[in-house]
Amino acid sequence: MDISFAIIELGLMILLFVVAKVSFKRPSNKWRLLYSAPAFLAVAGLVFVGFDKYFLGIYVAAFLILICLFIEDRKVKQKQITAVVLAAAIVVNMSVIALSSGYKRKSYLEDFEEAYSVLKEHYVLTEEKGIDFDALYAKYWPLFKAVDKNQDCVENYKVWQQFTGEFYDGHVGYTINNESEWRKAICESYGNDYGLSLIRLTTGEFAAVNVEGYDNSYSILSTDHDDLGFFSVKDDYKPDTAEADRLTLKNAGIKNGTIITKWNGRPVEEYFDEIDYYFMQYPVRENEIFYKPIYVAGMGSDMKYGDTFIPGDKEGNTLNPSVDITFIGDDGTEKSVLAPNLGIYAPRMIDTVYKLDDGVNITNLNWKEVNRSTYMIRISQMIYDQQTYDGVDYTEMTNELRDKVIALKESGVKNLIFDLRRNGGGSPYFVEGIACLFAPEGEHLTYYSSVINENTATFERGADGRYEMGLPSSYTGEDLWHDGQIILLVNAETVSAGDDMTYMMGDFPNVKVIGFTSSNSSCQAVTQVNMEEGGISFSAVPNLFPDGEIAIDTYTDHVGRTPFDEKIPMDKEAVKAIFDEGEDYLMQYAAESLE
């Protein structure tokens, strides 16, 4: 309920004070409708918005004014006194609301308790992932209690990211309903920007990437490479000296690929245990390790992970942090530089992740020539069109792709690359509609459904602890590319139906799965529950392999279970191509490996 409701009710009471005299001079039944208006408005609010205890006095006043319907028209003063008394009651109620610390409190703790109850009852991978819900409740209830007490939307985000991260499931996530609160939380949860991100090279060394001052790097002065619109708010977090300080690293000799040996006097890997939440979910441990250095780069001196200095924040940090960066210079000697804070780290961090993870920037299901013998198809989501997405028949899409594949084959194309990077998922039937064209001839079983108990809305497990198997799903292979090679290009953001496609096609004889990392390894059907302040998504319907095992998702060992043939080296050549030249290094690598 909004305060505007109270103001409208107060206005109606003032109007009815005037109406008391007018209705006596000009009798009409229409005045009865006007006296009913406050009650009608209150009922509408209760139905469409819900009961709010802070407005109880206003509800009562709205219904008490109906007494005037039973007072004779000639008793004007009685009606006016009633209107005045009830208007005064509304003013008192509004004053109580204004002074109350509880009014408009966010339901952070209530949201957690609701989400926890739903997850405990309906999350389908509790056994497989070793989730101890009682232990999670004991750990996180006090944290959400503190968040609720302080009404801190930033801390609420941080704690939710920690909680959902416990599941190691790409389908478990929390979203904030209020967009401005969501952006504030992102901005203030990943530390400060010291002009670079970090990546672990295949050699085990840590290198600077996305360094401020270089043409293809994210810049505090730029609005480019900013999918989340941070450019609209980042200036609010920028220190007065940021523009003058922005070339500190470049002037010191740090560039993309420079080896960083210490961060504030400590080896970079020593910070890993302090990172307790991420921007995304990394169910596969190897993938998690790949991305961890990126998060370290936001940690300032004498600040905990996630702490963010905000200029002008009198209640927050008072010391503007900096970082002492030790690096190997061009002459091979170890040097150091004090890197000042340039603002918030989140935009550079996310830009770094996207530079590593983005696929080809063309429309979904579009083809593109890579070279004379190789074509690629971009699949960013497993959706053909909305009408098809709601069903299981992808015949039109399959026919269209079949014609294109046959035409490419007849034109002499030998190799295909499926770009599944940052594939956000969609329909598994979409995947079958593509896989059938390239699978060896014959029937291919994909998944079995699970048996649901209609009374409890939960899925049945047998005596062996596995889910009881329901109906199978299958498709018939056509083997259209029998004599050619196929590469699936994946990464940790290839999730859900993206994992499905990696699983279905990854073991075909002529298919190779490559990337900096394997796919996400999250496959179960997902649902979302909306609470007051946000929503929780989670794995809600089990998909089973033909042997009865849960499909694809990681178990307690956090080992990826989708096919993965080659981990592309993260070396200085890759860093230069991606962060200096802005090239699609992985696509080039894939094409060259096919020659």
Average pLDDT over residues 125-130: 97
Q: What is the pLDDT of residue 430?
A: 96
Q: What is the pLDDT of residue 207?
A: 98
Q: Say yes or no to pLDDT of 317 above 60.
A: no
Q: What is the pLDDT of residue 363?
A: 95
Q: What is the pLDDT of residue 293?
A: 98
Average pLDDT over residues 72-99: 85
Average pLDDT over residues 354-364: 96
Q: Say yes or no to pLDDT of 420 above 70.
A: yes
Average pLDDT over residues 282-287: 98
Q: What is the pLDDT of residue 1?
A: 53
Alpha helix (H) residue ranges in 123-152: 133-150
State the DSSP H helix or E strand holding residue 174, giving kind and residue range, or none if neither: strand 173-176
Q: What percent of the chain has pLDDT over 90?
A: 74
Q: What percent of the chain has pLDDT over 70?
A: 97
Q: What is the pLDDT of residue 74?
A: 82
Q: Nearest CA to 361 among 585, 584, 592?
A: 584
Q: Say yes or no to pLDDT of 101 above 70.
A: no
Query: 289 or 36: whose pLDDT is higher?
Result: 289
Distance CA 367, CA 377 (A): 4
pLDDT per position as a tens digit, 427-485? 999 999 999 999 999 999 999 999 998 888 889 999 999 999 999 999 999 999 999 99
pLDDT per position as a tens digit, 566-585? 999 999 999 999 999 999 99
* Beta carbons of 147 and 119 less than 8 angstroms apart: no
* Beta carbons of 170 and 278 less than 8 angstroms apart: no
Alpha helix (H) residue ranges in 132-246: 133-150, 153-165, 179-187, 242-245
Spatial strand order in the sheet of 534-541: 173-176, 534-541, 525-530
Q: What is the pLDDT of residue 544?
A: 97
Residue 98: Cβ-neighbour burial (10 angstroms; 0-12, 13-18, 19+):
exposed
Q: What is the pLDDT of residue 94?
A: 83
